[in-house]
Structure 1
């Protein structure tokens, strides 16, 4: 089946390319429901399942075994919660793209987009705050101890959720399903409005957080290198091992975040001025949207599974104590995650 779809721009995970009953600048493209469409639908489903499963496991682990006993796990909990809720909107977008129409009504359209945006910004804000928290935890834990209590972390997390509401409020006004798709209304939003909206969401959702993460992670790695102990070989080896693990984690965090979100914003900005680029890479938009969602699947791995202590927690949760010793390590019984030992790389995760 082939349908004509008008050219436009899209924000977050919804494309104006999907408007069916109207056109923008009288430019149309065609979309074929072929093997590519089926493959994308399967990939959307896979990302949704993996994202929900991974983040749910992190949430259950923290609530059951850790009980948010440290500032670090408070942030990880809120990160997993935002990423998990971010996955909830994915089936709606996948069904829209696959069926070439929005079937859930205007109210659900606005609700899905607003909640989707809140979870996206909260997730990014969590990562930004975690970069600062890691720096304070390792560079001068005694000096910043009063700022890294679970109580303060919960207050900061609540503020992040509240602040995330404001950047996406315009979506409740300018997005609708009036044209068969849940997307921006071209008769309400001008090109200037769209450029402004896209610019400030890019700054708040990518540029500023990405810069903060690079600055604090670079300072963290530099501090580790400059503070190597001058003691015996064992202490020097331990410090070098910690530095190596932290460096790997930092590189992974920065690369994954940039890889998943930068293409999304590049395509958005190109759609404003490069019509021929959008026409040639229409399917690329669908892949970039999927890539932005897959970022939430990577977070449980980057911020939990890379931690030895979280791996022990997962082992305890998935392998009950009553199981046979040949299948479960009894050393995990009663293990509680804490980040008071600054020489443990897990404090960074």
Structure 2
């Protein structure tokens, strides 16, 4: 065993060009491959996510770039979201191999880079959905101001700032993530890609920042926006109102379901760091968040393959008429989000902003 451990350490030092030394002050995060059962579950989920997410998001990108004749603000945001999700889905193959082999085979640069890109996707997805929600809020609640407050030019600038912000605030994942050697339950030595915090306060900083900036604040904005939208929808009597509300709630709830466990896991780890190592509370918390890391992380990946399913649901009425171009027709209809000034009825704009475009049939109606 000593010989094997020495060989692994030699390989690790060679691949990272630096020695990893752990002192008594070093805080090591538990690896996501530290538990056989949760690792197997995580690998199964990732496999399904890869099979659904890659073709689903590539189909969205193709539909917008190759088949959609009109590209609205909403379409532009959906395109960016699909690119972010599709790119992440392509990276899942590395994590699938990691979970299946329970050993990191790709070296330290890939360890840092891949988890950094995962963090950028987390922030990009929630920020793009937030921006989409704010644009929909303006289109529904203040339709006559949408051209001034949420024009395509302003949204393009907002997206550029968003991506710059995303790549900046994801740097902690690049700094703290590192390859190290670990021992499994059978005391076998292996390489893992895990967070390596030299001080407890760095654990608190990283995961508190992720949860607050990457979930609580933007998700609060999303929920508040849709509360205002639903109130406005209820004030307008039209026959597709119930379906509109259901789709809006599905978008919000689905995102929360898949990301909430990950951030709850972060919170438990942060709380555990407030206690001494000998504390029974810390031990109980560690027994919960450590084995759950693999499952909660892979559940978060599902949110990146869920959007194509929602869009398919929203555009199912187009499938029989337009065939493979049904999603392009769905996205073309989003031009009506900012089409109030062209004589589209407020009822139709409200209905379309949630369901994806039945207002096309009523384009000539006047304002109510």
Cα distance, 1:46–1:102 mapped onto 2, change above 3 Å? same
Output one character per residue of 1:92-114: Cα deviation in whole Å (capped at 9) or x when no partner: 22222221221101111111111
* Partner residue of 1:257 out of 255, 258, 272: 255
Aligned to 1:312: 318
Q: Is the 8 A contact 1:131 1:217 kept in 2?
A: yes
Map of 1:192 onto structure 2: 201
Number of residue-to-residue matches in the alignment: 303
Task: Return the structure number with greater helix share.
Answer: 2
Q: Which runs of 5+ in 1 are unaligned?
A: 1-18, 229-235, 320-328
Task: Please state how far the C-alpha of 1:218 moved relative to its aligned partner.
Answer: 0.4
Structure 2 partner of 1:293: 301
Higher relative contact order (CA 8 A, sep 6+): 2
State the partner residue of 1:9: none
1:43-100: CA deviations, max 9, x gaps? 2111112111111111111111225621010111111111112223322222222212
Deviation string for 1:226-249 (max 9, x for gaps)? 2x3xxxxxxx4xx1x333122112
The match for 1:75 among 74, 77, 98 is: 77
> Structure 1 residue runs of 4+, over 6 Å off?
21-30, 332-335
For normalisation by structure 2, the TM-score amounts to 0.73
Q: How has the CA–CA distance of structure 1 residues 139 and 178 changed in structure 2, closer, same or farther, with 3 Å as cutoff?
A: same
Structure 2 gaps, min length 5? 1-19, 182-190, 273-281, 357-368
CA contact (8 A) 2:84 2:121 kept: yes
Match in the other structure for 2:286: 278
Report the RMSD for the aligned CA atoms in angstroms.
3.2
The residue that corresponds to 1:7 in the other structure is none
Write out aligned runs for 1:51-200 (5 A).
51-66=53-68, 69-179=71-181, 180-186=191-197, 189-200=198-209
From the superposition, tell whether residues 74 and 286 of structure 1 become closer, same or farther in structure 2 (CA, over 3 Å). same
Cα 1:95/1:311, change in 2 over 3 Å: farther
TM-score (norm 1): 0.76
Give the Cα–Cα distance (whole angstroms) in 1 for the partners of residues 146 and 153 of structure 2: 14
Q: Separation in 2 of the partners of 1:190 and 1:278?
A: 17
The verdict on how the C-alpha distance between 1:314 and 1:45 changes in structure 2, with shifts beyond 3 A counting, is farther
Whether contact under 8 Å (1:307, 1:346) holds in the other structure is no
